[in-house]
Each structure stands twice: as structure tokens, then as C-alpha cells.
Amino acid sequence: MQDILIAILAIIVGPLATFGFYILLNWLVNLFPEKVGRSLRPYVFIGPVLLLVGGMLVYPTVQTVTFAFMNADSTAWVGFNNFTRLFKDPNFLSTLFNNFLWVAVVPITTVVFGIAIATLTDRLGAIRERVFKSIIFMPMAISFVAASSIWRLNYQWDSGDTQIGMLNAIVKAFGGTPVAWMQAETFSLNSLLIMVVVIWGNAGFAMTLLSAAIKAVPEETVEAGAIDGANAWQSFFRIVLPQIRVTAVSVFITVLISTMKIFDVIWGMTGGNFHTNVLGVDFFLEYFVYNDTGKASAVVVLLMIAIIPIMIYQIRTYRKQEELR
Amino acid sequence: MSQQTSALQRFKNFKPGSTLVMLIVVLVWLMPTIGLLVTAFRTQSDSVHTGWWTGVLDPFHQHWTLSAFEGVFSSTWNLGPAFFATVAIAVPATILPITFAAFAAYGFTFLEFKGREVWFSMIIGLMVVPLQAAIVAILQMFVALDKWLMTIPGNEYGDFHLSGEYPAGWIVHSAFAMPLAVYILRNYMMTLPHALIEAARIDGASHFQIFWRLIIPMSVPALASFAIFQFLWVWNDYFIAFMFVGNHTVMTYQILSMLGQHGEGWQIVMAGCLISVLVPLTVFFSLQRYFVRGLTAGSVK
């Protein structure tokens, strides 16, 4: 009951207080002489956000980098000790390998799948298109915690004769031997099966953006290709694909970033056991289970080093777009 | 002409195949969700001994029951309070960042000032910072703040504190949503007619009035789509709720606990999942058009 009251109170008070805060800022700036006020006014609008991201994103991130060179409770400097400890640990090397595997498989598969579904549904009638797309898109509304639960049931392995997990029931129906999928470490099969969950969840996002891009391809370009004798495949690869490239890249980058820091699904499916660990889960384990702030921060620093090139790419793309405006 | 466009026509009319392929894909896509729906209404013994699909293939010989729902709302799992805790985090954590971001987006779009490009580039760069990077230091900041609060007379026992409470979750969610929110809203505001704003300026309207009377009403589509996106994100979040709002149990946390005991039958976990996905699915299907429009307007984290 108290929770409901707090929620209702927050819904009403939150925005009012926020808006009052901005009015107050604006009023303060108006007290200054016109010339000073003009140069201060932009900061009425962007100042609070700069403070928020500065205090809650930039400063803590810098702080984490310093923690990476300190001991478990951040009381003494230890140089690169945390990093050497990580790289000497064979389990961590397997964690790194898994992260590479995730990054290599998930973003590209999601994009290819998204393009395939967007292309297929684009050719169907309006109703079929809408229904199919809604169904593919639906998992986006389901949390990865709920998704892991659902998929763990699908991947369930039972020691007895009956299999209540769908995958093993299918294997058995075809005369195979049921497998404990989440423990199947050969060729990282368990990791690949967890990736299926993420692709199931993300394909709708990719499909939606790519479908909009495909619809924006001018009809004439496809017709011109057809007049020149292009078949269906040629017209797709030579005419449509180049025109949706920018969207495909941006979807790829978005999925890439979320894949690099993936946590919930693996935490829900295996808890990082059976060599399915990745950096996002390893951070969680080091910090909350082993209480080693230094090592946890070192894991995050490695993750950030991997993300920095993407960050630079994003800023450069934005700059290019601005020049075109 | 008809001869020449035949390749195109063949490409366009190749529909039975496309429909069939899509039907198969869609069936595979729906399968897990159907499993969820069916399992939630099964008895413990049914769900331990047979696969959920028997419920679909042989619906009249099942012991359908609502007992799993009684289970999740019982004192063992307390999903009712968890539901409201989730609401108490998600609603403010959706409204607050949008308000902040709308102001900033206005500043970045319609005000000229030194360093605008630099600040905005920083915002773009921050979009990709993983939340893991900031978590350790933020947790420590909150602890330090609580220690300082205890020096206030009357708060010696720390009754008034931030760590583990809802506002901590609101602040963290707002901060992490901010770069993307500002980016999306600014991209949208760039498409609004500048001439209109110029005219309002000449008529003597202040930036505050223009923002509130003109820009906010015109930005409703972008605001709505970001609101939906942020709401789904916060509702479905486990990480931030676990770390920053530890004094209240949210649904994702409860579901993971249920999942730890799935040996006693999957019906409890699935009933919990079903309750937790009801709200996002309703939001999603009723506002899908806004959501899709917003997605296609800007990229998403």
C-alpha cells in the first residue's frame, strides 16, 4: 500500500518539482543583467543534465578506472596487479573468449535475420505483414529475466525417461539422446544456445528499423534494375541492400554495444557457470560475490577499452551527419 | 514493358513461399511464449511429469488450475508487493528523465552558445558507456551521502537515507537514460520548423514560454515513444533494481528466486513471468505505433 502511495506521489510531485526547479533557475538567471543572463540562459536548459551525467556517469567512470589499479577494498595502490591476476586466470581467458564469441555471433546474426524478416514481410499483404511483425517484435517487451525462465524450460534436461524440455523432447522424437544443454561446453554449445535467446529478443528491434529503411527505398530504383534484367537476388543485393546499409550499420552497432555488456540472460540461464561467463557477469561476481572492487573494476576497464573505438565511431558519424544538415 | 518487368513481378508475386516461411518463423517465435502461457495454468504434477505441449495437444485431459497464481501471490513469493515496487520504480524513472531531457534537447536545438557542439558530442559519446563502469563508484557515493545525512540532527540512525530506496533507482535510471533521451529528442526537435520559433521570439515570447507552449506539444510523438521505451526498459530491469533499490523487492528479482526452485514445478515461475509481462505487453500492444515510430526516428541503446 505504501508503495502505491509513493508511486502516486512521485508521479505528481516529481514532474512538478522538476519543472519548478527549472522555473527557479530561469528566475535566477533573469536577476542578472541582460548581457550576463544571455550567456547563462542555455545552462538553465542544459545545466541540470550536464550535472546529472557528469556526476552519475563521467565522474564514477573515471573513479572506476582508478579503482582498477587499487586493492580489493580500494585502500592501496597495486599497479597492474589486478590485470595480471585476471590474465593469469584460465577461467578469465575463457570469459574473454566467450565475449568475443558473443560479439562475433549475435550482432551480425540479428541484423541478417532482421533484414530477412523485413524483406519477407514487406512482400506480403498489409494484414499479414502487421501480424507477423507484431509477433516477431513481441519478445522486446519481455524482460530478459522472464525470457531466461521461458528458455530454461525449453532447454530443460531430465534424468528420467520423459523430457519436459521442448528441445530434448524433439531430440528424443528423432531417436537421439537427450542432452543437458546448459552444461554442454563442447564448441561452446551452451553459449550458442543462450545467444538464441538474445537473438529471439532483439530480432524484432532490428526488423523494425530495417523494415522502415526498406520501405524508404525508392520504387523506381528497383524497377530500373528490373528493366536492366536484374533477377530477384540481384535486385536485393545490388539495389536494395546498398540503400539500407546506413540503417543496417546503426542497428549492428546498437546490438553490438548491448551484446558487449550482456548480463541478465547469462545470469538467468547459467549464472556464468559451465564456461558461459562473460565480462558483464564476471564484474557482478567479482564485486558482489568476491567483494573485490579492484578486480571488478579491472574487468570493467577491459570492457571500456573494447567500447572506446565504438564511442569514437559514434561521435565521428554524428559530426558527419551535422555537416550534411 | 510487361516482358521487361517480369523479373520484378516475379519478385513481387512470390508470395505463397514468403507466407509459408514467415508462418514457420512466427510459429518458432511464439513457441516459448505459448509455453509460458500454458505452463502457468498447469498443476504441479502435470508440469513436473509432462511437457507443456501436452496441454496444447490434449487440452481436455489436463488438470487446469489457478493454483500457481495463488502461489505467487502467497506470503512465500509476495508478488503483489513486488508488482507495486516495480511500479514505484518504473513510473518516476520514466517521467523524470524525459522532463530533464526535453529541457536539454531544447537548449541544444534552439539556443546558440559556445561549446554546444562539444557538450553534445560528449552526450553522444556517453550513450555507449556501459552501466557497469559507473556502478561501483555510484554505490560508494550514495553510502558517503548517507553517512553525511546521519550528521543531521534527528537522523542519527540513518532513517533518512538514499541507498536501497526508490529515489536511488530513479536517479541512476535517469542518468543512464539521459544521453539517449537527449539525443532522440534533439533529433526530433531539429525537424520542427525553426521559422515558427523565430516568429514567437519576435512576438516577445521567452524561451521558457516557447518551450512549454510550442515545443512540448509539438514533440509529443517523440516524447511518447521515448517514454514507452524507457518504461519497458526500467520495468524489465534487474541489474539496477538489485543494486540500488535493495530495500524493495521487484518482480524480476522474485522471478529469479522462483527460477532457483523450478525443481518444484515450472508452473510457479511461469505464473510469475506471466504477471510480470502483462503490463509491458499491454503498453506495447496499445502504443505499438508510437513505439515503432520512435524507434525508426532515432537509434536505441
Name which of A175-184, B5-14, B87-96 the model is least confident about. B5-14
Residues A178 and A46 in one domain: no
* CATH value at residue A142: 1.10.3720.10
Statement: residue A171 has pLDDT above 80: yes
Looking at the DSSP bridge assignments, the partners of residue A70 are: A77
Helical segments of B191-261, H only: 194-202, 207-209, 216-218, 220-235, 239-244, 251-259
- Its domain, for residue A175, covers 81-324
CB contact under 8 A, A257 and B128: yes
Residues A61 and A198 in one domain: no
Question: Among A10, A42, A67, which residue terminates a domain?
Answer: A67
Residues A29 and A95 in one domain: no
ipTM of the complex model: 0.91
Instruction: Show Cβ contacts of residue A102 under 8 Å, excluding neighbours closer than 6 positions.
Output: A191, A195, A259, A260, A262, A278
Q: Distance, in angstroms, between A88 CA and closest chain B CA?
A: 23
Grid coordinates given for B286: 496499445
Distance from C-alpha of B209 to C-alpha of B26, rounded to nearest angstrom: 49
Residues A223 and A295 in one domain: yes
Distance from C-alpha of A107 to C-alpha of A96, rounded to nearest angstrom: 17
Q: Would you say residue A74 lies in a domain?
A: no
Amino acid at A173: A
Looking at the DSSP bridge assignments, the partners of residue A77 are: A70
Q: Would you say residue A20 lies in a domain?
A: yes
Q: Which of B36, B81, B136 is nearest residue A150 as measured by Cβ atoms?
A: B36
Residues of B in Cβ contact (< 8 Å) with A4: 84, 87-88
Interface-testing mutation among B36, B100, B258, with chain A (most A C-beta atoms within 10 A)? B100
For the stretch B26-79, pLDDT in tens is 999 999 999 999 999 999 988 888 899 999 998 988 889 999 999 999 999 999
The single residue listed with the C-alpha cell 551480425 is A108
Grid coordinates given for A253: 552497432
Q: Number of CB pairs < 8 Å for A and B?
A: 344
B window 112-151, beta carbon within 8 A of A: 112-114, 116-117, 119-138, 140-141
Domains held by chain A: number: 2
**Average pLDDT for chain B:** 89
Statement: residue B127 has pLDDT above 80: yes
Residues A122 and A45 in one domain: no
Distances (CA, A) of B246 to A280, A293, B159, B164: 20, 19, 15, 5
Residues A301 and A181 in one domain: yes
Statement: residue B6 has pLDDT above 80: no
Question: Among A39, A67, A95, which residue terminates a domain?
Answer: A67
Question: Among A67, A92, A107, which residue terminates a domain?
Answer: A67
Nearest chain A residue to B54 by CA distance is A164
Residues A281 and A172 in one domain: yes
Q: Would you say residue A99 lies in a domain?
A: yes
pLDDT level of residue B3 (50, 70, 90 thresholds): very low
Contact B224/A at CB under 8 A: no
Distance from C-alpha of B279 to C-alpha of A20, rounded to nearest angstrom: 31
Distance from C-alpha of A155 to C-alpha of A158, rounded to nearest angstrom: 10
Distance from C-alpha of A190 to C-alpha of A102, rounded to nearest angstrom: 12
For the stretch B64-110, pLDDT in tens is 999 999 999 999 999 999 999 999 899 989 999 999 999 999 999 99
A window 217-256, beta carbon within 8 A of B: 222-223, 225-227, 229-232, 235, 250-251, 253-254
Q: Would you say residue A73 lies in a domain?
A: no
Residues A89 and A45 in one domain: no
Grid coordinates given for A282: 564476471
Residues A63 and A85 in one domain: no
**Average pLDDT for chain A:** 91
For the stretch A30-73, pLDDT in tens is 888 888 888 888 999 999 999 999 999 999 999 999 999 999 99
Residues A51 and A164 in one domain: no
pLDDT level of residue B263 (50, 70, 90 thresholds): confident
Per-residue pLDDT averaged across B268-275, rounded?
96
* Confidence at residue B185, expressed as pLDDT on a 0 to 100 scale: 92
Nearest chain A residue to B250 by CA distance is A3
Q: Which domains does chain B have, with CATH numbers?
A: 6-66 (no CATH), 77-297 (1.10.3720.10)
* Confidence at residue B2, expressed as pLDDT on a 0 to 100 scale: 45
Among residues A200, A159, A194, the alpha carbon closest in space to that of A273 is found at A194
Q: Would you say residue A72 lies in a domain?
A: no
For the stretch A120-151, pLDDT in tens is 998 888 888 999 999 999 999 899 999 999 99
Distance from C-alpha of B187 to C-alpha of B180, rounded to nearest angstrom: 11
Q: Distance, in angstroms, between A186 CA and closest chain B CA?
A: 25
**CB neighbour burial string for A17-47, b if at least 16 within 10 angstroms, e if fewer:** ebeeebeebbeebeeeeeeeeeebbbbbbbb
Instruction: Show Cβ contacts of residue A27 under 8 Å, excluding neighbours closer than 6 positions.
Output: none
Per-residue pLDDT averaged across B116-134, rounded?
92
Q: How many other C-beta atoms are found inside a 10 Å radius of the C-beta of residue A102? A: 25
Q: Distance, in angstroms, between B218 CA and closest chain A CA?
A: 18
For the stretch B186-237, pLDDT in tens is 988 988 888 888 899 899 888 888 998 999 999 988 899 899 989 999 999 9
Q: Would you say residue A76 lies in a domain?
A: no
Per-residue pLDDT averaged across A167-190, rounded?
93
Grid coordinates given for A70: 587499487
* Confidence at residue B34, expressed as pLDDT on a 0 to 100 scale: 94
CB contact under 8 A, B288 and A26: no
* Confidence at residue A185, expressed as pLDDT on a 0 to 100 scale: 92
Residues of B in Cβ contact (< 8 Å) with A303: 130, 132-133
Residues A60 and A85 in one domain: no
Statement: residue A96 has pLDDT above 70: yes
Q: Which of B4, B35, B111 is nearest residue A153 as measured by Cβ atoms?
A: B35
Residues A55 and A107 in one domain: no
State the pTM of this model.
Answer: 0.92
B130 sits in the region (left: phi over 0; alpha: psi -120 to 50; else beta) called beta
Instruction: Please tell me which residue, A12 or B95, carries the higher pLDDT value.
Output: B95
Q: Is the dihedral of CA B194, B196, B199, B204 positive or negative?
A: negative
Q: Would you say residue A75 lies in a domain?
A: no
Q: Would you say residue A58 lies in a domain?
A: yes
Interface-testing mutation among B12, B30, B103, B286, with chain A (most A C-beta atoms within 10 A)? B103
